[in-house]
Protein backbone atom coordinates (compact mmCIF):
# COMPACT_ATOMS: atom_id res chain seq x y z
CA UNK A 1 0.00 0.00 0.00
CA UNK A 2 1.32 3.45 -0.94
CA UNK A 3 2.19 5.85 1.86
CA UNK A 4 0.09 9.01 1.89
CA UNK A 5 1.92 12.17 0.89
CA UNK A 6 2.87 14.61 3.61
CA UNK A 7 1.19 18.01 3.51
CA UNK A 8 4.17 19.74 1.85
CA UNK A 9 4.42 17.18 -0.94
CA UNK A 10 0.66 17.18 -1.40
CA UNK A 11 0.61 20.99 -1.68
CA UNK A 12 3.33 20.84 -4.34
CA UNK A 13 1.41 18.17 -6.26
CA UNK A 14 -1.81 20.19 -6.09
CA UNK A 15 0.01 23.32 -7.31
CA UNK A 16 1.52 21.41 -10.22
CA UNK A 17 -1.85 19.92 -11.15
CA UNK A 18 -3.68 23.24 -10.97
CA UNK A 19 -1.11 25.19 -12.99
CA UNK A 20 -1.08 22.45 -15.62
CA UNK A 21 -4.71 23.21 -16.46
CA UNK A 22 -4.69 25.17 -19.74
CA UNK A 23 -7.15 27.78 -18.47
CA UNK A 24 -5.14 28.65 -15.34
CA UNK A 25 -2.77 31.59 -15.79
CA UNK A 26 -1.29 31.34 -12.29
CA UNK A 27 -1.95 30.67 -8.64
CA UNK A 28 -2.91 33.60 -6.41
CA UNK A 29 -2.82 34.06 -2.65
CA UNK A 30 -5.93 36.20 -2.49
CA UNK A 31 -6.41 39.72 -1.26
CA UNK A 32 -4.24 39.31 1.83
CA UNK A 33 -2.07 36.43 0.66
CA UNK A 34 -3.71 34.07 3.11
CA UNK A 35 -4.17 31.21 0.64
CA UNK A 36 -0.73 29.68 1.02
CA UNK A 37 1.19 26.73 2.36
CA UNK A 38 4.35 27.37 4.34
CA UNK A 39 7.12 25.11 3.08
CA UNK A 40 10.69 24.95 4.36
CA UNK A 41 12.25 28.25 3.31
CA UNK A 42 9.32 29.57 1.24
CA UNK A 43 5.59 30.06 0.82
CA UNK A 44 3.62 28.23 -1.85
CA UNK A 45 1.03 30.86 -2.74
CA UNK A 46 -2.41 29.83 -3.99
CA UNK A 47 -2.73 26.44 -2.26
CA UNK A 48 -3.68 25.73 1.33
CA UNK A 49 -4.14 22.14 2.43
CA UNK A 50 -6.65 22.04 5.29
CA UNK A 51 -6.39 19.88 8.39
CA UNK A 52 -8.64 16.82 8.72
CA UNK A 53 -12.17 17.79 7.73
CA UNK A 54 -11.17 21.22 6.41
CA UNK A 55 -11.34 22.00 2.70
CA UNK A 56 -8.40 22.48 0.41
CA UNK A 57 -8.29 26.15 -0.61
CA UNK A 58 -7.15 27.32 -4.03
CA UNK A 59 -6.70 30.82 -5.40
CA UNK A 60 -6.34 31.07 -9.16
CA UNK A 61 -6.20 33.55 -12.01
CA UNK A 62 -7.75 32.20 -15.19
CA UNK A 63 -7.40 33.23 -18.81
CA UNK A 64 -10.11 35.56 -20.09
CA UNK A 65 -11.22 33.06 -22.72
CA UNK A 66 -11.96 30.38 -20.10
CA UNK A 67 -15.45 29.42 -18.98
CA UNK A 68 -15.01 29.90 -15.25
CA UNK A 69 -17.66 27.37 -14.09
CA UNK A 70 -16.04 24.67 -16.25
CA UNK A 71 -12.56 25.45 -14.94
CA UNK A 72 -13.74 25.40 -11.32
CA UNK A 73 -15.53 22.07 -11.86
CA UNK A 74 -12.43 20.53 -13.47
CA UNK A 75 -10.07 21.77 -10.76
CA UNK A 76 -12.40 20.74 -7.94
CA UNK A 77 -12.67 17.20 -9.34
CA UNK A 78 -8.91 16.79 -9.94
CA UNK A 79 -7.77 18.27 -6.63
CA UNK A 80 -10.38 16.44 -4.57
CA UNK A 81 -9.21 13.15 -6.10
CA UNK A 82 -5.59 13.97 -5.17
CA UNK A 83 -6.63 14.84 -1.61
CA UNK A 84 -8.65 11.73 -0.80
CA UNK A 85 -12.03 13.23 -1.60
CA UNK A 86 -11.56 16.36 0.52
CA UNK A 87 -13.81 19.32 -0.28
CA UNK A 88 -12.14 22.01 -2.40
CA UNK A 89 -12.88 25.73 -2.14
CA UNK A 90 -11.75 27.73 -5.18
CA UNK A 91 -11.50 31.48 -5.51
CA UNK A 92 -11.04 32.91 -8.99
CA UNK A 93 -9.39 36.15 -7.97
CA UNK A 94 -8.81 37.64 -11.41
CA UNK A 95 -8.73 36.99 -15.13
CA UNK A 96 -5.63 37.33 -17.26
CA UNK A 97 -6.22 39.52 -20.30
CA UNK A 98 -3.87 39.06 -23.27
CA UNK A 99 -1.70 42.13 -23.87
CA UNK A 100 -2.98 42.39 -27.43
CA UNK A 101 -6.56 42.76 -26.13
CA UNK A 102 -5.55 45.57 -23.82
CA UNK A 103 -3.56 47.56 -26.39
CA UNK A 104 -1.03 50.30 -25.81
CA UNK A 105 -1.47 52.85 -23.04
CA UNK A 106 -3.64 55.85 -23.87
CA UNK A 107 -1.78 59.00 -24.84
CA UNK A 108 1.37 57.09 -25.59
Residue 3 confidence (pLDDT): 43
pLDDT tens for each residue of 37-92 = 999 899 999 999 988 889 999 999 999 999 999 999 999 999 999 999 999 999 99
Tell the CATH topology of 7-97.
GMP Synthetase; Chain A, domain 3 (3.30.300)
Q: How confident is the model at residue 22 (pLDDT cuts 50, 70, 90)?
A: very high
Residue 53 confidence (pLDDT): 80
Across residues 20-24, what is the average pLDDT? 98
Residue 102 confidence (pLDDT): 59
The number of CA neighbours under 13 Å toward the Cβ of 29 is 9
Better pLDDT: 26 or 102: 26
| Rounded Cα–Cα distance for residues 105 and 38 (Å) | 38
Better pLDDT: 5 or 37: 37
| Rounded Cα–Cα distance for residues 82 and 5 (Å) | 10
Residue 1 confidence (pLDDT): 37
| pTM, entire model | 0.85
Amino acid sequence: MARPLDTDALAELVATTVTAHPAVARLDGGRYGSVATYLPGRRLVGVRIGQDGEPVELGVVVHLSARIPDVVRDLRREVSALCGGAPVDITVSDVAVPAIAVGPPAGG
